[in-house]
Amino acid sequence: MTLVDEMEATLSINFEFRKYSGFLPKLITAVLLLAGFAVISGCAGTATGRDTSVYSSLKAGEVSDQKSSEASAMVVIRYPAMIHTNAENLYVSSFAINAIGGEVPYGVYGNRQTSRVAQSIIEKSSYFAMSLYRELKEVLPEGSVLLSPHVIEWDKERNLYSRPILGSEQIPSVLTIDFNIYSFPDVNELMDAPPVTFGDLVTPMIVVKSSRWIQPAMGGLLISSPPLVSSAWRQLRNETDYTLRSKIDDTSQGADSSLEFISFLRERNQVELPLPLKTGSDGNQKMAAVEQYSLEKIRMNGELIATLPEDFSVDPFGQAFVNGASTRIVEVLNSLDHEKATFFARQAAIERFDPELANVFFIQSNDESVRARLQLAEALVGAEREFLAAQSDSIYDGTYTGSYGSKMRNIISAEYRTLEERRQLARKQNISTAVAVIALAGAVYGAVASAASTAAVITTSGALMAGSGWALHKTLETRTESKEVNRYFLARMAPAFDRQMSVQMEWLESKEVITARGFAEFRNKTLSLYQSRVRSMQVSVSEQCRFKYPGFGQGGRWYGICEDGVASGRGYGLIINTRGDTVEFIGETKMGLPSGAGGMIVQRNGQVGATYYEGGFKNGLPDGVVRIEEPGQIPRTRLYRAGADIGKGDAARLQSLNFALNSVIAGSLTP
Amino acid sequence: MIGRLKVFVLAALFLLTTATGINASSGFDDLSNLPPGEQYRQLSLILLISGGADAALMDALAPRDTIDEGRAGTTLSPDDYKTPLIRIVDQESMLTGAAFLLRFAQDSNDEIQASLADINANNPVLISMVDMNSITEDAIIIRNAIADAISYSSIIEDEQIALHLQNYSTQTIRLRNIMEFELFDEELERLTDEAILSVGGKLDAYQRMFDEEVDSKGLTRQFDAAKYIFNRTEKFDEKAGILTEQIMKNVILSQSTPNVP
């Protein structure tokens, strides 16, 4: 319904009232009684939440000792940390339009309070993400958890989007977790049912993803808060399409990988997709579906919240959500093949500085010259991972234990006290108080700024209550272009790192030793070292080799062993037909077609979810024992002949894909 | 590089002049008379030389019984293979010696490993100072010498032996690559530590953001102002009552129709 429609509807209701005025007094009484009842019934439970998260019942287990590449991290945590001034207005209006938990009246869109709530989401997400980082860092191997703070931006082409500030997402990782907290935009509803993050209440949202070769039917989407799942799938599809087309066309521009929350806010009137969902407690865990982490308004321990400014040794968010969530993350990590999960990301990481090796990577060659070069390259990415892990530690220190954390704890504690007072008043179940509760609680957000204004303490940078993200860019805008940094080399080698550097330069320019410059220098030195040490390889792949798939035309691309211009041996191939359907294959080929052991993802354009085949292939089609995975189904082993399913398959005869590059395991000179 | 080469040449000269290699006839007995560091070096060298040499290759070089018969006459030590002269003039002795050396390494592998462990346990500081790269460099030279000798001999005409030799040569390349990787890794680690050290404790991005970009004093003042608002509760009930009354009046007025006569 458009705004005009809504107005017309409202007018028609008023007209009806006038027309049947004799009925009016009774109706008004009924409405008021109902309203009063609604308010009162809300009073006792106003602004309440669950005491514990659904994850809190999980028992913490050990992290499995899986062999994986030293280049890879286990988890990258992405979260909103800053917003550019250009994006503020659109971000706030998108936030109001795409409200989760109810409709927001149009009049609320432009309110200052709405803007404050939108801002608080960025600030508090930054703060609470640190709890998740600390917890995962404690249970996972050293240097395997990285932070990836994002800055929210806007431009004409991409609309609202976010991009990472650090290079953490260029490091291969088994899992990527998008984390943010959520609060309903309309503060008038603050004390009622909608999801809120205020005081002791917190509503976390997460999306957990892996490589699309992990649960290929769902594109690698593993866990999601339900409101984000459709947009997450759409973004995933766009990202995959973009990546595949880039590979076919030999273009190397990065796909949009905004935070899932930002990608959700960007959308307008998009339909909710019928994606198969499952709950964490289901016995149906094997089903190819996205595990939903239901939106839950968690109530943290009030006593801990009250003492937060003085003592933050015990983290109330940790107790309420993070401990359980990290247990679930560890369970997921244990259930995945880490080599498989990082295979393509490792290839992409190597491609940034050694395209020749990246092409050979798909062959999984055991040739000594390839092994040796791969070992050097992975050590290089591993060193970057270590460096970024150190950066993440510093961000944690700054955000949680530094001034930022201190301010946030003061604010959360003050919010809690306010909320407690209002709760006490609400418990009196007095209608006048109850209505006032709603009105005044809503004023909390607005009151801050107005009070600050009255006290004439607004800074020149426009800093708001805890306006890190908001305020920062006011001062930065003038500085962005003022410094010339010699980063041409990096710009050529790694545009994304260059971007990262420029942002960090904005943050920290004029310092003697700064992270970004340190990173640029570090990367320069390590790349020089790499280039001075690499030897030529005895294996090479053809630059232009064709991959074929029945009925898909001739437009396929093959990265692997090639004969007479077509795929012939091991490697990775992809093809897109005119309708936009895609086929990706990794494994053995003959005459350009999949033949032998391999894995294939078939994605029909517009279809929700993909179909994945793993096992034997002949002339491009599944042949022999094949494991098939489809959305909403439990993966099954079937017997195929020339692409036709002819019965149940013997799982013992399945030729599973092996992504492990055994030859990369480091040797030692010690006898 | 030149420095490394100099060290290597000096080490090679030293090894040649000391000529304390394993005599085939004496094996472990002679070794036990050597200083622990030298024992460790010699044993490591033997293991590194023998890696990748399979039984078929050894049999082709000299059958086991031939080696046993000629055991007394075989006097080559591993270090002898580094001398250019022997590589040129005495190919036959070299191959026989190599066969013995490889066989000895294979047959005595467990004993060699145990000896290495013993030496390491008894002399940890000394062994930690042993330059494994230098030993590996020597091993690579010796392995290449052996491989060359085989490739010049008539046994290479057998295709199977050629394959075994290729495998042995690949292992030599692998050894070189591992050695080079360790040097690379050492340097990479140094660079990484240096880079981490240069940002460690100095990044603190948010701290700086507050101190210098956002103006933390101003923020504190704002926060104090916010706290004042949060804690302003004295007349809350009274104000709430007035506000509620106003709201209810407004609701009634907005929802009702004027009673026009």
Q: Are B85 and B28 in contact (CB under 8 A)?
A: no
In degrees rounded to 5, what are phi and psi of residue A614?
-140, 130
Strand partners, A629: A612
Selected residue with higher pLDDT from B261 and B53:
B53
Q: Do B205 and A464 touch (CB under 8 A)?
A: no
Tell me the nearest-neighbour CA distance from A645 into chain B, angstroms. 44
Which chain A positions have a beta carbon within 8 Å of B240's beta carbon?
425, 432-433, 436-437, 439-440
Do A643 and A571 touch, CB atoms closer than 8 A? no
Q: Residue B117's CB: how many other CB atoms inside 10 A?
A: 10
- Residues facing residue A75 across a β-bridge: A145, A175
Contact A403, B223 (CB under 8 A): no
Contact A390 B256 (CB under 8 A): no
By CA distance, what is A372's nearest residue in B?
B177
Bigger pLDDT: A251 vs B229: A251
Please judge whether B207 and A448 are an interchain contact, meaning their C-beta atoms are less than 8 angstroms apart.
no
- The amino acid present at A635, given as its one-letter code, is P
Contact A507, A149 (CB under 8 A): no
How large is the greatest C-alpha to C-alpha distance in chain A, in angstroms? 101
Residue with tokens 């006593």: A303
| ipTM of this complex prediction, to 2 decimal places | 0.71
Q: Let me know: does A587 contact A570? Beta carbons within 8 Å.
A: yes
d(C-alpha B155, C-alpha B152), whole Å: 9
Compute the distance between CA of residue A243 and CA of residue A253 in angstroms, rounded to an integer. Answer: 9
Query: Between chains, do B195 and A411 touch, taking CB under 8 Å as contact?
Result: no
pLDDT of residue B87: 59
Distance of alpha carbon A576 from alpha carbon A598, whole angstroms:
19
Give B214 to chain A, closest Cα distance, Å. 6
Measured distance CA(A553)–CA(A308) in Å, rounded: 64
Q: What contacts B99, CB < 8 A, 6 or more positions away? A: B58, B61, B62, B66, B67
What does the pLDDT read at residue B36?
A: 84
Q: Are A160 and A220 in contact (CB under 8 A)?
A: no
> Contact at 8 Å (CB) between A223 and A147?
no
Which pLDDT score, from 0 to 100, does residue B196 have? 81
A518 interfaces chain B, CB cutoff of 8 Å = yes
Give me Rg for the CA atoms of chain A.
27
pLDDT of the residue at A263: 95
Which A-chain residues 427-456 have CB contacts (< 8 A) with chain B? 431-433, 435-437, 439-440, 444, 447-448, 451-452, 454-455
User: Whose CA is closest to A413, among B207, B223, B237, B222?
Assistant: B223
Q: pTM to 2 decimals?
A: 0.77
Please write down the HEC assignment for all residues of B33-53.
Answer: CCCHHHHHHHHHHHHHHHCCC
Inter-chain residue contact A513 with B198, CB threshold 8 Å: yes
How many angstroms separate the CA of residue B32 from the nearest CA in chain A? 19
Cα distance between residue A120 and residue A128, in whole Å: 12
Set of chain A residues whose Cβ sits within 8 Å of the Cβ of B116: 671
Closest to A520 (Cα-Cα) out of A503, A547, A539, A498: A498
Chain A contacts in chain B segment 154-193 (CB below 8 A): 170, 173-175, 177-185, 187-189, 191-192
Using a CB-CB cut-off of 8 Å, the residues of chain B touching A391 are 199, 203
Best of B1, B39, B199 to substitute, by most chain A Cβ atoms within 10 angstroms, is B199
Give the span between the Cα atoms of A350 and A344, in whole angstroms: 10
For every residue of A601-661, DSSP letters joined together read EEE-TT-SS-EEEEEEEETTEEEEEEEEE-TTS--EEEEEETTEEEEE--GGG--------
Burial (CB < 10 A; 0-12, 13-18, 19+), residue A578, is exposed
CB–CB of B44 and A671 under 8 A? yes
**Closest chain B residue to A21, measured at CA:** B257
Contacts of A421 in chain B (CB under 8 A): 233, 236
Residue A4's contacts (CB-CB under 8 Å, 6 or more residues apart) are none
From the list A472, A537, A533, A545, the residue with the least C-alpha distance to A506 is A472
- DSSP state letter for A193: S
Strands (E), A454-581: 557-563, 566-576
Place of tokens 């494991």: A627
Nearest to B233 among A398, A421, A511 (CB): A421
Distances (CA, A) of B73 to B23, B27, B67, B88, B153: 10, 13, 10, 20, 21
pLDDT mean by block of 10 residues, chain A; 671 residues = 36 32 38 35 50 73 76 95 84 92 81 80 91 94 92 89 87 96 83 82 95 94 95 93 87 81 92 86 80 90 88 87 91 92 93 90 89 93 91 82 79 82 65 44 39 27 33 30 27 31 36 49 87 88 88 89 92 93 95 94 92 95 95 94 92 85 48 49
Enumerate the residues of chain A whose CB falls inside 8 A of the CB of residue B200. Answer: 390, 394
pLDDT given at position B237? 60
Q: State how far the alpha carbon of A447 is from the alpha carbons of A117, A470, B230, in Å.
A: 12, 18, 9
Q: Which residue has the tokens 């008894």?
A: B122
Cβ separation A398–B173 shorter than 8 A: no
Asked if A511 has any chain B CB less than 8 Å from its own CB, the reply is yes
Does B257 sit within 8 Å of A402, measured CB to CB? no
Rounded Cα distance, A133 and B247, in Å? 46
Those of residues 10-49 in B touching chain A at CB distance below 8 A are 43-44, 47-48
Whether the CB of A525 is below 8 Å from some CB of chain B: the reply is: yes
* A59 CB burial (10 A radius; 0-12, 13-18, 19+): exposed
CB burial of B23-33 (b: ≥16 within 10 Å; e: otherwise) equals ebeebeebbee
A555 and A249 in contact (C-beta within 8 Å)? no
Q: Give the closest residue to A643 by CA, choosing from A619, A621, A666, A614.
A: A621
Residue A511: predicted pLDDT: 34
Q: What angle do CA A63, A69, A73 make, to 5 degrees?
A: 60
Residues of B in contact with A31 (CB under 8 A): 255
Separation in Å, CA A503 to CA A118, A168, A507, A508, B205:
22, 14, 6, 9, 12
Question: Which residue among A515, A530, A669 sits closest to B132, beta carbon to beta carbon?
Answer: A669
- Enumerate residues 85 to 124 of chain B having a beta carbon within 8 A of any beta carbon in chain A: 112-113, 116
Assess contact for A61 and A334: CB atoms under 8 A. yes
Strand order of the β-sheet with A636-641 is: A557-563, A566-576, A582-590, A593-603, A611-618, A621-629, A636-641, A644-648
**A583 three-class SS:** strand
Chain A residue nearest residue B132, CA to CA: A669
Q: Above 70 in pLDDT, residue B128?
A: yes
Q: Does B204 touch chain A (CB under 8 A)?
A: yes
Amino acid at B64: R
Among B214, B219, B247, the residue with its CB nearest the CB of A435 is B247
Sort strands A204-209 and A173-181 into parallel, antiparallel or unpaired: antiparallel
Query: Given the structure tokens 């990748």, which residue do they identify?
Result: B52
- Residue B184 CB-half CA count within 13 A: 27
pLDDT score at B26: 46
Cβ–Cβ under 8 Å, residues A547 and A559: no
DSSP string, chain B: -HHHHHHHHHHHHHHHHH--PPPTTTTHHHHTTS-HHHHHHHHHHHHHHHTT--HHHHHHHS-HHHHHHGGGG----GGGGG-HHHHHH-HHHHHHHHHHHHHHHHHTHHHHHHHHHHHHHH-HHHHHTS-HHHHHHHHHHHHHHHHHHHHHSGGGGSHHHHHHHHHHHHHHHHHHHHHHHHHHHHHHHHHHHHHHHHHTTT--HHHHIIIIIS-HHHHHHHHHHHHHHHT--TTHHHHHHHHHHHHHHHHHHHH------
Q: Do B237 and A433 touch (CB under 8 A)?
A: yes
Q: Which residues in chain A touch residue B47, judged by CB atoms under 8 angstroms apart?
A: 671
Q: How many CB atoms lie within 10 A of CB B36?
A: 16
Which DSSP category does A50 fall into?
Answer: B
- CB of A306 within 8 A of CB of A315? no
Phi and psi torsions of A217, nearest 5°: -60, -30
Query: Hey, is the C-beta of A263 within 8 angstroms of any chain B C-beta?
Result: no
Could B230 and A418 be called an inter-chain contact, meaning their C-beta atoms sit closer than 8 Å?
Answer: yes
Whole-number Cα distances in Å, A335 to A175, A222, A268, A324: 12, 12, 36, 17
pLDDT score of B120: 87
* Chain A (154-193) residues lying within 8 Å, Cβ to Cβ, of chain B: none
